[in-house]
Amino acid sequence: MNMRAPTIQRASASLLPFATLAVLGAFALPVQAQDIDAGRQKAEEVCAACHGKDGNTPIDPSYPKLAGQYQDYLEHSLLDYKHDRRKNPIMGAQAKPLSRSEIRNLAAYYASLPGTISNHADRITQR
């Protein structure tokens, strides 16, 4: 019975730093430079070969469509491939040479494209 209260207190105290980081992160977002045109250039040079020029026409049905996916999901996925947290021999090789800002730009570019798997893109980027 009297074990309950301290447990909850401890739990919420340990969440505080994360809540603070989340708030700071929200303020930091607009400052992070992202360059959709640079993303487009890199995408056309490298990624289009497999994911299609429009991000919707992959060369194989098992290759994912990137257009219109959430920017943070794309960025997170690329970082995971880069650091072997998501393991795939093809994408691991693609993501390893990408810099942090290239990843940010590529994610911003593909998120800005009209997707065929969801229609949230118009809400993220007003184009």
Residue 30: CB atoms within 10 A of its CB come to: 7
Number of shown-chain residues binding ligand HEC (CB under 6 A): 18
d(CA 30, CA 19): 19
Q: Which of 32, 49, 119, 122 binds ligand HEC (CB under 6 A)?
A: 49
* Three-state DSSP state, 18: helix
Instruction: Provide CB contacts within 8 A for 107, sequence distance 6+.
Output: 34, 39, 71, 72, 74, 75, 78
Counting contacts by CB under 6 A, is residue 94 touching ligand HEC? yes
Binding status of residue 29 toward ligand HEC by CB under 6 A:
no
Smallest CA-to-CA distance from 68 within 108, 12, 114, 22 is with 114
Q: Does 91 bind ligand HEC (CB under 6 A)?
A: yes
Looking at 47, 108, 113, 121, which residue binds ligand HEC (CB under 6 A)?
Answer: 47
Closest to ligand HEC by CB, 20 vs 32, is 32
Interface with ligand HEC, residue 67, by CB under 6 A: no
| Residue 116 binds ligand HEC (CB under 6 A) | no
79 near ligand HEC, rule: CB under 6 A:
no
